[in-house]
Structure 1
């Protein structure tokens, strides 16, 4: 998404909020894909947290950027959300791709961080309702309608240990039901590649051929050719995926979490950006990514997957 700098700062705040309750073995940094690791339930908000969010004043009609007024500094001890409007559009459904507007403020000094409404750009971010990593955002929007507005207060810890609270108002601008798996024309893969098998739901598994040599260049093999538009490297996509190391070990999977993930192709490892740009929506793609296009060679990075050749099967369900 092509936000200008102030809006990009707000987008980073939203990403932090979405990832807040996600703690566990997998992560965006593990796969280069979504902020959707195995989620761990956050503590319930305290009475003080609820009161702090309840005291935020919102001015302005739905459909336009609102003004938020509160006494700073404002802080919460755990992610805390409040439904502002339930919306009067179509009911939201689990698994839908939601286009959301948001405006973000600093709880420390009540300064406005940024907004998707800024300067009339009209850009929205994309989330998948039901994604476990949405945490309280997922909780507050479930059962609501298009047009729903929610306040989210999110404590964030900086590298120096300083904790600040980000405050956002989100509005659901649109909701789209997307397929649950790749759909299109089957493509016969080149010989010698890892073999992909799908179960009845579309969840993939792979078999690595005996003696398979890790490639030095990216392999992007289309397995199913979708009929949708071509994906651009600057877009966000919604996808189901699983990632393996060459020994067959799964290290990340949206299928295991039960919900597709939505993320920008500008915020992933190079192998994803290069391998998925140009593919069509509805496609399933096998990616075999050398370390140089993933997390670097062993010793050159502290990442747990440094030096690893990674294998992914990605179903491209939508692009925005």
Structure 2
């Protein structure tokens, strides 16, 4: 059974959205007062169905919900059980959250996901997403009950969701010793890197990976989904050929859908880390092109910030 695919509320649905290019990363423009107000107004109203759900358990831990069956809401209903005590979220914020889902007709528990590291990618809030309609501009620590109506593709369902925190858009790990013999990295106030190639130095002939900041989060495994920021430059001239910072949005990808050298930069690293990787042509783009930029025979240098990761097997719990 597959849960309702609502902006990463189902781990299985997340995988589908990632492959379709529709998951986290829709832009990080700073909210205006109107946008912030729109997010507050976006939260769905409570109703008889959502108000009838009784929930046991602390915020931040798996819950147990009970309700008179069946529940048959005609529209999305959201009841706030705990308003939270942290900062209010804003449009464009990337948030971490967790949930337990139930069949609204039978009361059967369908899945509990997000309370352990590596079960969900952070997702971006906006008034246009279902996640925005669930949490609105709530405070960190908010717990809600969301009752979803049945549709042509999904049964009616009940979710108990916890808003756990916001996720920075730049690596936040502990700075490490500067690696010798590799390009220098200078960070702007927002975390965007400037990469300087060593003058007159030949590039390495094998991929080299150095951790610039060491995060303490989930360790990325082969095939995992990741949420990252990166900048890539050519060793030959130091010019940038691709950067999420220039696009103003992190990227979502799997470790096995990138070139070998980039894969080595991700797997084994922890969430919150920043990684410098130098990739020779054999483990880069070789004779190919990317983003209309000619990278034939180029040694590539990337600085990668790992903002989140989701295990490739996380969706198994929701099937």
| Category of TM-score, reference length = shorter chain | 0.5 to 0.7
Deviation at 1:183, TM superposition (A): 4.3
Deviation at 1:171, TM superposition (A): 0.7
TM-score, L = length of structure 1: 0.54
Q: Per the alignment, in what secondary structure is the counterpart of residue 249 of structure 1?
A: strand
Q: Confirm whether residue 202 of structure 1 aligns to residue 196 of structure 2.
A: no
The change in CA–CA distance for 1:187 and 1:39 in structure 2 (over 3 A counts) is closer
* Aligned mate of 2:230, from 233, 239, 242: 242
- Which residue of 2 is the match for residue 61 of structure 1? 55
CA distance in 1, matches of 2:107, 2:207: 42
2:98 and 2:115 in contact (8 A); partners too? no
Q: Per the alignment, in what secondary structure is the counterpart of residue 242 of structure 1?
A: strand
Deviation at 1:180, TM superposition (A): 5.6
Q: Per the alignment, in what secondary structure is the counterpart of residue 264 of structure 2?
A: helix
CA distance in 2, matches of 1:215, 1:139: 50
TM-score, L = length of structure 2: 0.54
1:104 and 1:168 in contact (8 A); partners too? yes
2:193 and 2:231 in contact (8 A); partners too? no
- Which residue of 1 is the match for residue 264 of structure 2? 274
2:242 and 2:291 in contact (8 A); partners too? no
1:96 and 1:129 in contact (8 A); partners too? yes
* Aligned mate of 1:314, from 304, 314, 317: 304
CA distance in 2, matches of 1:144, 1:291: 47
* Aligned mate of 1:287, from 266, 274, 277: 277
- Which residue of 1 is the match for residue 317 of structure 2? none
CA distance in 2, matches of 1:208, 1:155: 56
1:177-202 residue CA offsets vs partner (Å, 9 max, x unmatched): 779643434422242x4442211333
Matches within 5 A, 1:1-320: 10-14=10-14, 35-38=24-27, 59-61=53-55, 63-65=63-65, 69=70, 82-94=77-89, 98-103=96-101, 115-117=110-112, 123=116, 125-126=119-120, 128=122, 135-138=129-132, 140-141=134-135, 142-151=137-146, 164=153, 169-172=159-162, 174-175=164-165, 181-191=171-181, 193-207=182-196, 217-224=206-213, 226=214, 228=216, 231-233=219-221, 241-244=229-232, 246=234, 247-253=239-245, 256-257=248-249, 269=258, 271=261, 274-279=264-269, 283-288=273-278, 298=288, 311-316=301-306
Deviation at 1:172, TM superposition (A): 0.6
Q: Per the alignment, in what secondary structure is the counterpart of residue 196 of structure 1?
A: strand
- Which residue of 1 is the match for residue 59 of structure 2? none
The change in CA–CA distance for 1:177 and 1:266 in structure 2 (over 3 A counts) is closer
Q: Per the alignment, in what secondary structure is the counterpart of residue 13 of structure 1?
A: helix
Q: How many residues align?
A: 272
The change in CA–CA distance for 1:231 and 1:218 in structure 2 (over 3 A counts) is same
Unaligned ranges ≥5, structure 1: 21-26, 29-33, 45-49, 75-79, 157-162
CA distance in 2, matches of 1:147, 1:282: 24
Q: Per the alignment, in what secondary structure is the counterpart of residue 276 of structure 2?
A: strand
1:44-102 residue CA offsets vs partner (Å, 9 max, x unmatched): 9xxxxx89x96866644252256785669x8xxxxx96432252543354457533114
